[in-house]
Amino acid sequence: MTESEKQNALESIALIKTLVDRSHREITHAGSGWICIIWGLYALLGYAGSHLLHHWHSYALAGWWWPFLSLFGFAASVLVIRRKAATRSSKLKGSLTGWFMLFWIPLILLMAALIALCVLLPDLPMKYITPFVLLVVSAGYLMIGLMFHKSLLVMGFLGLAGTFVTTVFFIEHAGPILSLLFGLGLIVTGLLLNRRR
Amino acid sequence: MAEHLSTRLDKVLTQKARLGIMSILMVLEEADFNHLKDKLGLTDGNLSTHLGLLEDAKYIRIRKTFAGKKPKTSCLITERGRRAFLEHMNTLEKIIRSIPGA
């Protein structure tokens, strides 16, 4: 066997390893970066918009702000999935749809918890609403992370820890702190996931 | 022994671009033409030639469909392709193990 044949074998194995690893990574994180960025912006714009509208006494508009943004986030996520899935394999399509669904399960949990909150604790002070909302969402990500995705587990854990610390030590500023924490956290995660591809 | 090993390498898969296509398809099972082109940095003509050779060897199946008005070419790995790839990789590993100190 010549040296060049041996070298060729080593190069071929290295090529296989690189492409197989890259494809596995792509399946795991397909489109998740953009979905994280969309929901990170959702958290930041949601809080900022709602705060400004309250400040300008536009209470009716403030009430519609979050549902409007939710629709926008939903539409943008669907667009990401459609664009990615149009040119890629069915395995990637499945992974993308999975990511999208995983983001929504905690929000559905949140809606159920908010309805329960309105019925059971109608007099809860406003300052506790954001920590409550984020505790529920984080718990949702933690549960889903335990079952499916390690990155969601980390997100859930950091969310719970961040919410707990903010509620105990900075409850008066919980709204802006937690919106920044979650919004920027998701955007940074999204950018990192996009760079890893 | 070493001579014997190199003759056992699959001739279709010794070419790097074809090996790359098969490596991607081993994981994804199915991939779009543009996805392969993007990942392997090949030209349209070059990729078409390699896909044609892999199809002739029955290692992949090519499916042409339409996504709206745009034609879409998808490549799917076959069971025969999967077996050939694994065998080829096995031989490559044996060659590497036969290198002293590797």
- What pLDDT score does B1 carry? 52
Query: Which residue in chain A is spatially nearest to B90 when comparing CA positions?
Result: A13
Is residue A164, in this structure, part of any structural domain at all? Answer: yes
Residue B57 lies in a domain: yes
On the question of pLDDT at B19 being above 80, the answer is yes
pLDDT at B71 over 80: yes
Count of domains forming chain A: 1
How many domains is chain B partitioned into structurally?
1
Q: Is A27 on the interface with B (CB under 8 A)?
A: yes
For β-strands B60-67 and B70-77, DSSP reports them as antiparallel
Which 8-state DSSP code applies to residue B71? E
Q: What pLDDT shows up at residue B79? A: 95
Per-residue model confidence (pLDDT) at position A100: 65
C-beta of residue A160 within 8 angstroms of C-beta of residue A143? no
Give domain status of residue A2, yes or no. Answer: no
Has residue A46 been placed in a domain? Answer: yes
pLDDT value, residue A31 = 67
A5: in domain:
no
The pLDDT of residue A193: 73
**Which residue of B2, B19, B27 is in closest CB contact with A15?**
B19
- B7-15, Cβ contacts within 8 angstroms, sequence gap of 24 or more: B8/B91, B9/B88, B9/B91, B9/B92, B9/B95, B10/B84, B10/B87, B10/B88, B10/B91, B12/B53, B12/B54, B12/B57, B12/B59, B12/B84, B13/B84, B13/B85, B13/B88, B14/A8, B14/A12, B15/B50
CB contact under 8 A, A91 and B89: no
Q: Do B16 and A15 touch (CB under 8 A)?
A: yes
User: With contacts defined as CB-CB under 8 Å, which chain A residues touch B17?
Assistant: none
CA distances from A47 to A41, A154, B98 (A): 10, 23, 63
pLDDT score at A15: 94
- The reported pLDDT for the residue numbered B89 is 93
Cα–Cα distance, A44 to A51 (Å, whole number): 11
- Residue at A13 is within a domain: no
Whether B102 is in a domain gets the answer no
Helix axes A32-55, A174-196, angle to 10 degrees: 160
- The CA distance from B87 to A100, in Å, is 38
Cα nearest neighbour of B3 on chain A: A1
Say whether pLDDT at B33 is over 80.
Answer: yes
* Averaged pLDDT, B64-75: 82
The closest CB to that of A91, out of B2, B29, B99, belongs to B29
Query: What is d(CA A106, CA A134) in angstroms, rounded to the nearest whole number?
Result: 10
Tell me whether residue B68 is in a domain.
Answer: yes
Q: State how far the Cα of B84 lies from the Cα of B88, in Å rounded to an integer.
A: 6
Q: Give the model's pLDDT for residue A40.
A: 87
Residues in A 44-103 with any Cβ partner in B closer than 8 A = 86-92
Cβ atoms A107, A101 nearer than 8 A: no
Confidence tier at B55 by pLDDT (50, 70, 90): very high
Question: Looking at the domain assignment, is residue A9 inside a domain?
Answer: no
- Cβ <8 Å between A19 and B23: yes
A19 and B16 in contact by Cβ < 8 A? no
Q: How high does pLDDT run on average in chain B?
A: 88
The pLDDT value recorded for residue A33 is 79
Its domain, for residue A144, covers 31-196
Instruction: Please tell me which residue of chain B has the smallest CA distance to A12.
Output: B16
Domain residues for the domain of B69 are 2-97
What pLDDT was estimated at residue B53? 96
The identity of residue B75, as a single letter, is C
Chain B window 69-88: which residues touch A at a Cβ cutoff of 8 Å?
A: 74
The answer to whether the Cβ–Cβ distance between B98 and A13 falls below 8 Å is no
How far is A25 from A196, CA to CA, in rounded Å? Answer: 8
In a domain, A154, yes or no: yes
| Per-residue pLDDT at A98 | 67
Residue B3: pLDDT band with limits 50, 70, 90: low
Q: What is the ipTM of this complex?
A: 0.87
Domain-embedded: residue A20 = no
Quick one: closest CA in B to A89, which residue? B31
Q: What is the pLDDT along chain A (197 residues), one digit of tens a residue?
A: 677 778 888 999 999 999 998 887 777 666 677 888 888 898 889 888 888 888 888 878 877 888 888 888 888 887 877 776 655 566 666 666 666 666 666 667 766 776 776 677 777 777 777 777 777 777 777 766 666 666 667 777 888 888 888 888 888 888 788 888 888 888 887 887 777 65
Q: What is the pLDDT of residue B30?
A: 86
Instruction: Tell me what the mean pLDDT of segment B27-37 comes to.
Output: 88
CA gyration radius, chain A: 21
Whichever domain contains B38, its CATH number is 1.10.10.10
- B62 interface with A at CB cutoff 8 Å: no
